[in-house]
Structure 1
Amino acid sequence: MKKMKRIVLTVTILALFITGCATENNNEIVVVSREEGSGTRGAFIELFGIEEKDSNGNKVDKTTDEATVVNSTSVVMTTVAGNKNSIGYISLGSLNDTVKAVKVDGVEPTVENIKNNTYKVFRPFIIATKENPGELTQDFISFILSSDGQKVVEENSYIAASEKGPYSSTKPSGKIVIAGSSSVTPLMEKLKEAYLKVNTNAEIEIQASDSTTGMKLAMEGTCDIGMASRELKESELKKLKPTVIAMDGLVVIVNKENPVSNLTSDQIKGIFKGEITSWNEVAK
């Protein structure tokens, strides 16, 4: 009986060893993508050529069906931080030390490199309203575009989109609701915080979702301001007035244990289309 126990124990240890080796040598890429309707996803697939036209001229998203799809920037980072073989994409302004940003075509994703046009993966942050927004809505937009608001933009690792002068106002009262892109939301929270310090008569509610939902709610009048991290569609432009409030880099991120530090645009495209499936294919 003791001999049998030793045999079972030995086999168990051997199985665990083999499993551990298999896990250690498993370099299959785990693609993490945003959900459909996300402005970040829309911008990413367009910038990297993952969106292609079919025979009828319609745009088709070729993101691999094997991708893990999540619904916010924070979940992308959490997912990538928790899986050493994963890769995803987020807003530059949301990047933190839980994940690693890779260079694209040898260029580091920084505000300075976007400004000097060496890092070419960036998109606009847009807010949208109906043609004649209310007094408080317009005042908040004026603050965002003022030098005071744009200072907040730059302090949070985004790129200013306006060169207007200092904010001045009669400080109207009331409440506004802002809804949409979860990528724009962190910046909007900072702008809200700064604005409420200079206009204590205002109340602002921010609802994070995605760009498409934000535009839909703005068109319906359910919210006063919609947020989008992509250009507006023709159907949205017919009903909404867009305003660019900042420019933001898109960052390709991997797990901090991943030795890969640079990917070409073609490699990124191949990974997210499911044509490159192992880190061994891109490792240097």
Structure 2
Amino acid sequence: MKTSKKYLAFALMSVLMLSALTGCSNKNEGDSAKFDTAREINVLTREDGSGTRGAFIELFGIEQKNEAGEKIDYTADTAAVTNSTSVMMTTVAGDLYSIGYISLGSMNDTVKAIQIDGCEATIENIKNGTYKIARPFNIATKDGLSDTAQDFIDFIMSADGQAVIEENGYISVSDAGSYSGEMDSGKIIVAGSSSVTPVMEKLKEAYLERNPGVTIEIQQSDSSTGMSDTIDGTCDIGMASRELKDSEMEKGLTATVIAMDGITVIVNNDCPINNLTSEQVKDIFMGNAVRWSEISQ
């Protein structure tokens, strides 16, 4: 009888252990299976006028010339449009099947960065040329710039300003010496790109510590609006997360590169996709690949 009870106890323990192991296995299977590759890819892009969009479609070959030699943006009509970096990140963070793109300097742990052609989007890889999806951060000005605005630009390009740029995850471009200016008063209006805005806010903060009597107003919009505002004289300094267009330069704008930045392709943190080729990204955003099952890993 005792032997029978011992056997029963052992058998019961074995069943419980097996159940526990099976439960873990099912949970893991459930975690891996919750990503349904048959689902459509929810493509997110930026609005027309966005410098990030302009650089992205150029770098991935989504912008192509037609027979007349005109540049055409072939982003799929089905792509959902977001009007800022923060909206892009929030949308991707809340949608398992979405894919988008943002500035490398804006990356945080709410979304996951995808490797492109097996290369991670890092400052080091941009500097050594292995990660090629990179673009300049430009500021634009016109003749007749105020002394205060010029002093702020001098700070941005100084060793002090470039240190702020590096500290915030961007790539410095100037080897100028330390900032030595001093302004007692004045107001500067800076307008444009939502991608450049975060680092510009940090530059503003550092500059005002040295020049507390100055007022700097930063108006976030997009690169094209920033250039238009500078041309119209409604702001002193325009921000663009792309190269300036010939048409903008012809209207009197002068561009200054203040930093380099990568563009990061992002997905939801629970998405199992970790690497895409440049061609796969192009196919996704042009609408040639519409389901995750069409992206081989």
TM-score (ref. length: structure 1): 0.91
CA distance in structure 2 between the partners assigned to 1:141 and 1:208 by the alignment: 18
Partner of 2:72: 60
Q: C-alpha displacement at 1:281, in angstroms?
A: 1.4
User: Match of 2:248, as an amino acid?
Assistant: E
CA deviations on 1:109-151 (whole Å, 9 max, x unpaired) are 0000001110000000000010231000000000000000000
Q: Does 1:258 align with 2:258?
A: no
Match of 1:34 among 41, 46, 68: 46
Post-superposition Cα deviations, 1:19-41, rounded to whole Å, max 9, x if no partner, equal xx999564210000000000000
Residue of structure 2 equivalent to 1:142: 154
Aligned to 2:245: 233
| Alpha carbons of structure 1 residues 81 and 227: separation in structure 2 relative to 1, 3 Å | same
Q: Distance in 2 between matches of 1:100 and 1:27?
A: 19
- For 1:223 and 1:278, the matched residues in 2 are separated by 44
- State the number of aligned residues: 264
Q: Residues 200 and 281 (structure 1 numbering): CA distance in 2 closer, same or farther, change over 3 Å?
A: same
Note the aligned Cα RMSD (angstroms).
1.4
2:135 aligned counterpart, secondary structure: strand
8 Å CA contact 1:260–1:283 kept in 2: the answer is no
Identity within the alignment, %: 62
Give yes or no for the alignment of 1:158 onto 2:191. Answer: no
Residue 173 of structure 1 deviates from its aligned partner by 1.3
Structure 2 residue aligned with 1:212: 224
Aligned 8 A contact 1:135 1:172 in 2: no
- The whole-number CA distance in structure 2 between the counterparts of 1:171 and 1:222 is 22
Verify the 8 A CA contact 2:56 2:263 in the aligned structure 1. Answer: yes
Matched residue of 2:198: which SS? helix
Residue aligning to 1:281? 294
Structure 2 counterpart of 1:264, one-letter code = T
1:242 pairs with 2:251: no
Quick one: distance in 1 between partners of 2:107 and 2:37? 28
CA contact (8 A) 2:38 2:292 kept: no
Cα pair distance change 1:26/1:282, threshold 3 Å:
closer
Unaligned runs of 5+ in 1: 1-20
1:17-62 Cα deviation digits (max 9, x unpaired): xxxx999564210000000000000000000000011110000000
How far apart are 1:221 and its partner, in Å? 0.3
The letter of the residue matching 2:50 is: S
Stretches of structure 2 that go unaligned for 5 or more consecutive residues are: 1-32
